[in-house]
Amino acid sequence: MYNLKLINYCFIILSVLACQNKEKKQIEKAKPNILFILVDDLGYHDLGVTGSTFYQTPNVDKLANQAMMFTQGYAASRVCSPSRASIMTGKFTARHGITDWIGAKTGKAWRTRNRHDKLLPADYIHTLPNEEVTIAEAFKTNGYKTFFAGKWHLGGKGSYPEDHGFDINIAGIDAGSPRGGFFSPWNNPKLENKKKGENLTMRLAQETADFIKQNKDSTFFAFLSFYAVHAPIQTTEAKWAKYRNKADRIGIAESGYKMERVLPIRQVQDNPIYGGLVETMDDAVGVVLKALKDNGIAENTIVVFTSDNGGVASGDHYATSNLPLRGGKGYQWEGGIREPYFIKVPWLKHAGSKTEFPVINTDFYPTLLDLANVPLNPEQHKDGISLKPLLEGENLKINRPLFWHYPHYGNQGGEPASIIQKDGWKLIHYWEDNHEELFKLPSTENDDLNLISKHTKLAKNLSNQLRSWLKEVGAKYPIKDPQFNSVKANERYLNTVNKKWPSLEKQRLEELSKDFKPNATWWGSKVILD
């Protein structure tokens, strides 16, 4: 009798424990997965859903229409490494110290570029500091499996993704562009060559899809960081032909460029090579989103889609146009920092909604923690706010300034400048001569929209706030180059106008010609048997 009671008692205890374990697993499973998709150098108007009539992006368009679209969504920098560091840390660039792309020359070394600029760029931190608690570390500490695939560019060995909270790192190294191009064989110690001619963008998507399948019963934070659509601009012959023929049907403009302040800048979206590169990125997004659906976890996965800076309209490959936004990657205007910025939370009723509330990529850190019910860490993500109220349909009554600090020259023609944006106004301070520009937002930031002469008191107030904040965070500044030679600077400018500009116009028409052929293998996409 006693043994029977003991057996029954043990059975009850085991049943209770089993129920508790089941409930615990259900609670754990209820925690949302996170899929963060970051595209390199994608411009605000490079998607159909944001206004492009040339590039075709059905998968991203569909995602955007299931998400909340932030029409004033910004990157924290006009170039890659600083912007990526801000996503990882939740801090503005002047605060975390990575203010230029890692590898850019500074100080006297800048003279070796033979640009003959007025200033010597400020120094910057060259690796993501170990003391920063990254967004990946925050999720990992709270039980998430963490995964990274693609471009890192936040330091070399000792500062790879696996050193900053990611359990798995596929292809993330110090490089800022795909070594070896977009078709295998590539030169990446973190990515095995499997099939000659394989596309890098699709491979990264498949690696991410495989991770999703393998971890569908756990909770994960997956960060897919495409090398696309960064230069080198490459695509297949079939995709080039598709966009070349489309440009022909639309009508090929005689001229594709105009002069910006120091470099030509693209005025039309008609680059068939870039069109193919963008579409491949979209194909890859489709692969990953399908993996969520096929594995039955799409309804429990938050998806973020954004870019790290504006589209490349000058420098690099002069690939796209960001019009009506002025500038592009490397520039201080809207075209350099305004980005596609979408957040999909499947259980919230915000599909297809839009907001003009100004947001920036430092906001992703606290927003995603908040949505996942993970404790916030305000001492870390100091320059981000949770956007959860907006996503839930509420008003966000926060009046905060946004800051940008780029004490460098962009490879694409941008100038050393700092920016404050507040209360629907944006002030840009130029470090070459300390002049300023003032714009009312939302704005394309054309020359005729500079309103500083009409609002001098407002401009002075914003300027004082900007300088105060830069001082507070210990920002570094460029200095005057005592060897600056205005004659050589003018010679360089004239050479750009008289030689570089015509050369770009010629190259554009060559890439649109029916007999265009970059090489025998189309950048390695065609495998030629020996």
- C-alpha torsion 141→132→43→385, nearest 10: 70
55 assigned to some structural domain: yes
Give the amino acid at 239.
K
Residue 368 has pLDDT above 80, yes or no: yes
The pTM of the full predicted model, rounded to 2 decimals, is 0.93
Task: Determine the average pLDDT of the residues in 298-306.
Answer: 98
Which comes out higher in pLDDT, residue 464 or 15? 464
- Which pair of structure tokens corresponds to residue 472? 């507070």
478 assigned to some structural domain: no
- Residues 205, 206, 209, 211, CA torsion sign: negative
Q: Are strands 417-422 and 425-430 parallel, antiparallel or unpaired?
A: antiparallel
439 assigned to some structural domain: no
25 assigned to some structural domain: no
Task: Determine the average pLDDT of the residues in 171-178.
Answer: 96
Which residues lie closer than 8 Å to 214 by C-beta, 6 or more apart?
Answer: none
Q: Can you give the pLDDT at residue 20? A: 44
Residue 530 has pLDDT above 70, yes or no: no
User: How far apart, in whole angstroms, are the C-alpha atoms of residue 176 and residue 358?
Assistant: 28
24 assigned to some structural domain: no
- Which pair of structure tokens corresponds to residue 5? 């009671």
Domain range for 498 is 33-395+486-511
Q: Can you give the pLDDT at residue 529? A: 52
DSSP single-letter state for residue 376: P
Give one word for 359, left, alpha or beta, with left for phi > 0 and alpha for psi -120 to 50.
beta
Report yes or no: 46 and 278 within 8 Å, Cβ to Cβ.
yes
C-alpha to C-alpha distances, 416 to 26, 119, 461, 481, nearest whole angstrom:
52, 8, 21, 13
429 assigned to some structural domain: no
Q: Can you give the pLDDT at residue 514? A: 96
Q: Is the preceding peptide bond at 272 cis, omega within 30 degrees of 0?
A: no
Give one word for 462, left, alpha or beta, with left for phi > 0 and alpha for psi -120 to 50.
alpha
DSSP single-letter state for residue 386: -
170 assigned to some structural domain: yes
Work out the mean pLDDT of the chain and round it to a whole number.
93
The burial of 485, by beta-carbon neighbours within 10 Å (0-12 exposed, 13-18 middle, 19 or more buried), is given as exposed
pLDDT in tens, 411-422: 999 999 999 999
Residue 16 has pLDDT above 60, yes or no: no
Q: How far apart are the first and last CA of the chain?
A: 84
pLDDT in tens, 495-516: 999 999 999 999 999 999 999 9
Per the structure, the count of domains in the chain is 1
The burial of 5, by beta-carbon neighbours within 10 Å (0-12 exposed, 13-18 middle, 19 or more buried), is given as exposed
Closest CA to 371 of 387, 385, 354: 387
DSSP string, 154-174: S-STTSSGGGTT-SEEES-SS
Which residues lie closer than 8 Å to 392 by C-beta, 6 or more apart?
Answer: 348, 350
Residue 4 has pLDDT above 70, yes or no: no
Q: What is the CATH number of the domain that holds 257?
A: 3.40.720.10
- Which pair of structure tokens corresponds to residue 470? 């830069």
- Using only C-alpha atoms, the chain has a radius of gyration, in whole angstroms, of 25
Q: Is the preceding peptide bond at 518 cis, omega within 30 degrees of 0?
A: no
Report yes or no: 383 and 82 within 8 Å, Cβ to Cβ.
no
Q: Predicted confidence band at 398 (pLDDT cuts at 50, 70, 90)?
A: confident
Q: Can you give the pLDDT at residue 148? A: 98
18 assigned to some structural domain: no
Report yes or no: 273 and 320 within 8 Å, Cβ to Cβ.
no
DSSP-derived 3-state class of residue 222:
strand
- Which pair of structure tokens corresponds to residue 85? 């560091």
Report yes or no: 216 and 297 within 8 Å, Cβ to Cβ.
yes
Overall residue count recorded for the chain in this entry: 530
pLDDT in tens, 208-262: 999 999 999 999 999 999 999 999 999 999 999 999 999 999 999 999 999 999 9
Q: Predicted confidence band at 7 (pLDDT cuts at 50, 70, 90)?
A: very low
